[in-house]
Amino acid sequence: MIKDFDTGALKNFDFKELLNHIPELKLLDCNIAPMSFEEPIDSSNMNPEAWVEIADIIEQYYEEMDGFVVLHGSDTMSYTASALSFMLENLNKPVILTGSQLPIGDLRTDAKENLITSIQIASLQEEGAAVIKEVCLYFEYKLYRGNRTTKINAEHFEAFASMNYPPLAQSGMHLVVNREALLKSNPNKNLRVHKKFETGIIIMKMFPGMTASAVEHILAYPELKGLIIETYGTGNVTNETWFIDSLRKIIKKGIPIVNVTQCAGGSVNMGLYETSTDLKKIGVTSGKDATAEAALAKMMYLLGKGVAADEFKNVFETPLKGEMD
């Protein structure tokens, strides 16, 4: 967004005017080809159809471009980064998502630095090959693996964190890449783009005082295809019979349940405490140290591919794009 200084209102940024608003981009040793949706949307309106539209653009220009920077509202950026990481199989070029907390026309905006450094990272090459070969998120001097991020602050410039995985790069006086943390790729395989997502998924956050009738109402959703439960600590929930029985019924229907922790950092470890032992016994899938955003995107992706119920647990608990350990 950019501010109209005559009215004070925010309006959509015209990417054709990119170099006029950020003349510093002319100093970068690369050519920039801007492109935008015909009708830009607020990131709160993000959906799988828009994910496919982004992936379509990357697929269309994949061979002629060295890298891609996706400008995206911060509210759902981690969801989009996670989704793209699963959609873009055999990715051998950088896809960097970035944005800002303040509009690009604001005097104190963080948009310029985020965009300039994202483009610089996307153009990094060694011996004719990209240095970064995965979907990332860049914000406030740090480059993260996209499917490891979550938004942690609505006001500070440091809006994102990757609690369970180190930054891939940090920007200061020099741009320092953490090469040991980068995702390895196979340069001999061609890009494949997966575009089917299952949307019949519910995220149910556990809280003290949940009632049997409320849970029963949620799980009665007729189009339910998958359930993610956000649990306490290392994957703990109430072990009252009515709750465990309600989950068991869902699993018997062939509907997978994934357990992720509500904690910002750490991992699910079912069976460590008595209150998670029953989840393990009935066949709940461990989200391990994946974020809720990554778990949702991965479930949507796997169910969209038609992964069978009896295979889902093993497939989900196997890292695909560095989203979990």
- Tens-place pLDDT, residues 240-265: 999 999 999 999 999 999 999 999 99
User: CB-based contacts of 170: which residues, under 8 Å, 6+ apart?
Assistant: 141, 142, 143, 176, 178
CATH homologous superfamily, domain 2-193? L-asparaginase, N-terminal domain (3.40.50.1170)
Inform me whether the pLDDT recorded for 183 exceeds 80: yes
Inform me whether the pLDDT recorded for 21 exceeds 80: no
Q: How confident is the model at residue 123 (pLDDT cuts 50, 70, 90)?
A: very high
Say yes or no: do domains 2-193 and 201-316 share a fold: yes
User: CB-based contacts of 285: which residues, under 8 Å, 6+ apart?
Assistant: 256, 257, 258, 259, 312, 313, 316, 317
Q: Provide mean pLDDT across the span 70-83.
A: 97
Name the DSSP class of 232: B
Q: Provide mean pLDDT across the span 80-107.
A: 93
DSSP labels for 128-153?
TEES--SEEEEETTEEEEGGG-EE--
Q: What is the pLDDT of residue 106?
A: 78
Name the DSSP class of 43: G
Name the DSSP class of 54: H
Q: What is the pLDDT of residue 299?
A: 98
- Percent of the chain exceeding pLDDT 70 equals 97
Average pLDDT in the chain: 94
Q: What is the pLDDT of residue 153?
A: 96
Q: In degrees rounded to 5, what are phi and psi of residue 47?
A: -155, 170
Residue 139 Cα distances to 156, 176, 210, 250, angstroms: 11, 15, 37, 39
Domain ranges of the chain: 2-193, 201-316
User: CB-based contacts of 213: which residues, under 8 Å, 6+ apart?
Assistant: none
Q: Are strands 257-261 and 285-286 parallel, antiparallel or unpaired?
A: parallel
Of 11-25, 67-81, 157-171, 309-323, the one with minimum mean pLDDT is 11-25
Q: What is the pLDDT of residue 215?
A: 98
Residue 299 Cα distances to 55, 144, 195, 248, 266, angstroms: 18, 21, 13, 19, 20
pTM of the model: 0.95
Q: What is the pLDDT of residue 126?
A: 95
Inform me whether the pLDDT recorded for 16 exceeds 90: no
Q: What is the pLDDT of residue 298?
A: 98
Residue 45 Cα distances to 10, 97, 248, 296, 301, angstroms: 17, 17, 34, 17, 19
Q: List the CATH code of the domain at 201-316.
A: 3.40.50.40
